Amino acid sequence: MTGPVNRRSPAPVAARAFSDEERRALYDVIAHRRDVRNEFLPDPVDEDVLRRILEAAHAAPSVGLSQPWDFILLRDPLRRAQVRAAFARANDEAQAMFPPDKRSAYAALKLEGIEKAPLNICVTCDRSRGGPVVLGRTHQPETDLYSTVCAVQNLWLAARAEGVGVGWVSILDEADLRPILRLPEHVRVVAYLCVGHVRELFDGPELAARGWARARTLDAHVREEGW
Amino acid sequence: MTGPVNRRSPAPVAARAFSDEERRALYDVIAHRRDVRNEFLPDPVDEDVLRRILEAAHAAPSVGLSQPWDFILLRDPLRRAQVRAAFARANDEAQAMFPPDKRSAYAALKLEGIEKAPLNICVTCDRSRGGPVVLGRTHQPETDLYSTVCAVQNLWLAARAEGVGVGWVSILDEADLRPILRLPEHVRVVAYLCVGHVRELFDGPELAARGWARARTLDAHVREEGW
């Protein structure tokens, strides 16, 4: 039988439903995710595990389906030592920015696992991805950076479910990272992540456990109809 | 028995382990998450469900534990009509930015569910949260915005697991939103979200299904040791 080409109009389908147990799994991953600094084990992250984690990141929403992220995998000890040195410079500067009475407490915090973790992942945003006009970026040009952060959060949750810890190191001057990573002009660093298996984690935010900061409850953050 | 106060040093504990089934649940939520524009049902989102979704958002990582996000819940039809009008203005401008041969395809896309969804949530970032020097923001001041995006992604995944769709509307001029939401100077709009129950969803990114854009596979996004 022949007939006219059937150019069917795209249509939604029945949405995948999730059970109470599945919801509980998601909520537990979210609740047990930690920013890891010191608990990394030296074991390499298996390629299959890493692939699943990166696929989860790559399934993130992106403005205009531009998928502006890239994942630079760093294992070379020399390169990671360069990044660690850049951290040390920035961290010395950071310490001096705090009031004198907080500096020794700041200096006592371990804030990165760049060399302890067997894998680092720099998540970048290619600001030219998708061409000069991207659907959804016309009035909020920063949304490509935000898409990239969505990928980071997916990566973080997937890693947690795989028994892999992630620590986001933001005490880095991007200008120091760019030559180490050979980044072209149009590519921005969004997140520099330390990644490795963990057996132990803090049972709440480490900065709270160490008395540096206190977490607030949700109620203070919900508003109705306006600020 | 009495004795000296035991000021125990904080220490990590055994990390929660996740089963294959739990990992699968997480990966399915991530894979089945959609940017929803037209599939919203009118039913109100139950307060318990909304609470769980917002608690998931509030469990996001934040730079220096600053928790810079707030969630403004918008249900008032008049206020949502104002936001819808702001979208329409921006969308007309956006359409004109595309090359002439793409404008009619752009105009045919439905890009928001502001009035169809029973609930809108504006996720904001208070750039003064945590005081003048925030741990981790000293060298990357944009990390408070990124923390807020992590909260958005947690919210999105939790909603998906609850059978609630989310659509991120970025075709809005922030200057139009600020008076509608009565935002003070130091508070930025990060994400304007349409939220409501869904029964059907596209089985892939809607922009791909409609032929607007094509998703790339992960391989093109992974690099080793540098760009």
One-letter-per-residue 3-state SS of B30-52: HHHCCECCCCECCCCCCHHHHHH
Which parts of chain B register pLDDT below 70? 1-8
Q: Is residue A140 part of a domain?
A: yes
Please state, in angstroms and rounded to a whole number, the distance separating the CA atoms of residues B31 and B27.
Answer: 6
Q: Is residue A205 part of a domain?
A: no
Domain that includes residue B160, residue range: 35-199
Contact assessment for residue A200 and residue A40, using Cβ atoms and an 8 Å cutoff: no
- Cβ distance A18 to B39 less than 8 Å, yes or no, reads no
Give one word for B93, left, alpha or beta, with left for phi > 0 and alpha for psi -120 to 50: alpha
- Cβ distance B149 to A150 less than 8 Å, yes or no, reads yes
Q: Give B40→chain A minimum CA distance, Å.
A: 12
Q: Give B205→chain A minimum CA distance, Å.
A: 8
- Cβ distance B28 to A22 less than 8 Å, yes or no, reads yes
**What does the pLDDT read at residue B4?**
47
Neighbour count for residue B132 (Cβ, 10 Å): 8
Number of domains composing chain B: 1
The encoded tokens of residue B59 equal 């469990």
Please state, in angstroms and rounded to a whole number, the distance separating the CA atoms of residues A136 and A144.
Answer: 9
Q: Is residue A171 part of a domain?
A: yes
Q: Confidence class of residue A9 from pLDDT cuts 50, 70 and 90?
A: confident
**What does the pLDDT read at residue A2?**
43
Mean per-residue pLDDT over chain A, rounded: 96
Please state, in angstroms and rounded to a whole number, the distance separating the CA atoms of residues B156 and A150.
Answer: 10
Sheet holding B187-197, edge to edge: A222-224, B69-74, B119-126, B187-197, B164-169
Please state, in angstroms and rounded to a whole number, the distance separating the CA atoms of residues B47 and A189.
Answer: 38
Q: Is residue A206 part of a domain?
A: no
Q: Is residue A21 part of a domain?
A: no
Q: Is residue B226 part of a domain?
A: no
Q: What is the mean pLDDT of residues A150-170?
A: 98
Please state, in angstroms and rounded to a whole number, the distance separating the CA atoms of residues B104 and A58.
Answer: 30
**What does the pLDDT read at residue A1?**
41
The encoded tokens of residue A46 equal 């298996």
Contact assessment for residue A151 and residue A60, using Cβ atoms and an 8 Å cutoff: yes
pLDDT tens for each residue of B117-160: 999 999 999 999 999 999 999 999 999 999 999 999 999 999 99
Supply the pTM of this predicted model: 0.96
- Cβ distance B66 to A213 less than 8 Å, yes or no, reads yes
Q: Is residue A212 part of a domain?
A: no
ipTM for the assembly? 0.96
CATH (domain of B191):
3.40.109.10
Residue A7 has what DSSP assignment? -
Q: Give A126→chain B minimum CA distance, Å.
A: 10
pLDDT tens for each residue of A45-98: 999 999 999 999 999 999 999 999 999 999 999 999 999 999 999 999 999 999
**What does the pLDDT read at residue A222?**
98
Residue B107 has what DSSP assignment? H
| Locus of tokens 């892939």 | B204
**What does the pLDDT read at residue B9?**
78
pLDDT tens for each residue of A135-156: 999 999 999 999 999 999 999 9
pLDDT tens for each residue of A20-44: 999 999 999 999 999 999 999 999 9
**What does the pLDDT read at residue A8?**
60
Question: Number of A:B CB contacts under 8 A?
Answer: 334
Give the contacts of B87 (CB within 8 A, at least 6 positions apart).
B111, B112, B114, B169, B171, B172
Return the residue in B153, B178, B202, B206 with the most chain A beta carbons within 10 A, the one to mutate for interface testing.
Answer: B153
> To which H or E segment does residue A164 belong?
strand A164-169
Question: Which chain B residues have a beta carbon less than 8 Å from that of A50?
Answer: none
C-alpha radius of gyration, chain A, whole number: 21
